[in-house]
Amino acid sequence: MTTRTATARYSGFGKEGKGAITTQSGVLTDQFYGFNTRFEDEPGTNPEELIAAAHAGCFTMALSFALAKAGFSEGTLETKAAVKLEQKDGGFTITRSDLTLEASVPGIDPDEFAELADDAKKNCPVSKLMNAEVSLAHKLN
């Protein structure tokens, strides 16, 4: 259906290396990232922040469409995603993505809302990605 792309470039290696991320849409263009933006408080981005943004956006949109399909046409949804990176087995692992939702949907039954929200959590494409197959094609110059 659609394919979206992003590129990451890294110059130098390890803690001294510096990276830049660019997205197909141009919303990120040579956005700085590196050790200090990932593990310290230096301005810039990092992969976990980008995954959190993608998960919050995907889940919120999925729930919005589910609510529209159920006949609701007004309200607001605001979701925060907290993606956790932990050191495990000698490396790092993203161990969880915790979604926190604040919503206002006039006239909805709380049980119906909980069911729609749970379905959106399970079935938004980014939630499904958390257990997806990952492929890699590479070329060494």
3-state secondary structure 93-126: EEEEEEEEEEEECCCCCHHHHHHHHHHHHHHCHH
Question: Is residue 58 left, alpha or beta, with left meaning phi > 0 and alpha meaning psi from -120 to 50?
Answer: alpha
Among 35-39, 44-48, 136-140, the minimum mean pLDDT is found in 136-140
Residue 10 makes CB contacts below 8 A (sequence gap 6+) with: 17, 18, 19, 34
What DSSP character marks residue 15? G
List, for residues 112-127, the tens digit of each pLDDT value: 999 999 999 999 999 9
Nearest residue to 17 via CA among 39, 49, 2, 1: 39
Confidence of residue 77 (pLDDT cuts 50, 70, 90): very high
Percent of the chain with pLDDT strictly greater than 70 = 94
pTM of the full structure = 0.90
Three-state SS at 38: helix
